Amino acid sequence: MNFLPLARNTLRETIRDKILYVILLFALLMIASSILLSFLSLNQQDKIVFDLGLSAISIFGLIITVFVGTNLVSKEIDKKTIYLILSKPIRRGDFILGKFLGLSLTLGVIILAMAAAFFIVLWYTMSLTESDFMAWLPNGSMALVLIYIEMLLLTAAAIFFSTFSTPVMSAMFTLGLYMIGHMSNDMLNFGKLTGQESLNQVIETVFYIVPDLERLNLKNVLVNQPVSPEIFASSLSYGLLYIAGLLLLSMMIFEGREF
């Protein structure tokens, strides 16, 4: 449990970062603005608020993850505090786990704040249309859990990239992973349509290596119909397995890194 003090310290550091509050403010404003946009659509207010609110949480969560996650490791190296940390009875693997857990807790607090605003806006809109808010609550909760898991996966990826590259390159790699992860199925279909076996094999290799983030993006389905517990559990397990794999790779690389 040597990583717990590091996790607490990381939580304190990140929660004091003023830029997080600026990003959170923009996210809350975006969620609130969905009320105005919902009135532009007849008889679709509930779905507009649901979709725009969850999209805002996902986008601003990505910004926070990339902005903070890619600097977690490099900041300690640049400030030379890594030597002080590793001089104590703490393993390098604990350092990675502590940083990941600390940022995960920070993201959890931010997600809770945005989720509270999202449900308040959704309840207000549905009260105007006399819709059943409780019928939307399970779908919204499942979508938020999967958004949080996606943010944790991207955090693990950002830490993984930062173990061997600069913060700028780590941010670019993480954004690239996000884009490819959401387009992997389309890329796979494109490779089959080209009819070129070599290109198709390359795309298939990328498809099986890069996480399929669309499995964690069920908000477009949940806006129209409920998702079975089996599908939700499968998506949740998929994300957690990728997180564990990325953290293990990060530990292995960080163990062999020279400072």
Q: What is the pLDDT along the chain (259 residues), one digit of tens a residue?
A: 667 778 888 888 877 777 777 777 888 888 777 777 666 666 666 777 788 888 888 888 888 888 888 887 777 777 777 777 767 777 888 888 988 999 999 899 889 988 888 888 888 877 766 667 777 788 888 889 999 999 999 999 999 998 888 888 888 999 999 998 888 777 777 767 777 777 777 777 777 788 888 888 877 777 667 778 888 899 999 999 999 999 999 999 888 776 5
The Cα–Cα gap between 157 and 209 comes to 13
What are the angstrom distances between the C-alpha of 18 and each of 104, 113, 178? Answer: 18, 16, 25
Spatial CB neighbours of 94, under 8 Å, sequence gap ≥ 6: 2, 3, 6
Q: Mapping DSSP to helix (H, G, I), strand (E, B) and coil, where does residue 140 land? A: helix
**Domains held by the chain: number:** 1
Type of residue numbered 54: L
Which residues make Cβ contacts (< 8 Å) with residue 98, sequence separation at least 6?
2, 3, 4, 5, 6, 7, 9, 10
The pLDDT value recorded for residue 223 is 66
pLDDT at 160: 92
Beta-carbon contacts of residue 71 (< 8 Å; ≥ 6 apart): 162, 167
Q: How far is CA 24 from the centre of its chain?
A: 15
pLDDT for the residue numbered 150: 94
Predicted local confidence at residue 259, as pLDDT: 59
Give the pLDDT score at 165.
86
What's the confidence (pLDDT) of residue 1?
61
Domain that holds residue 101: 3-255
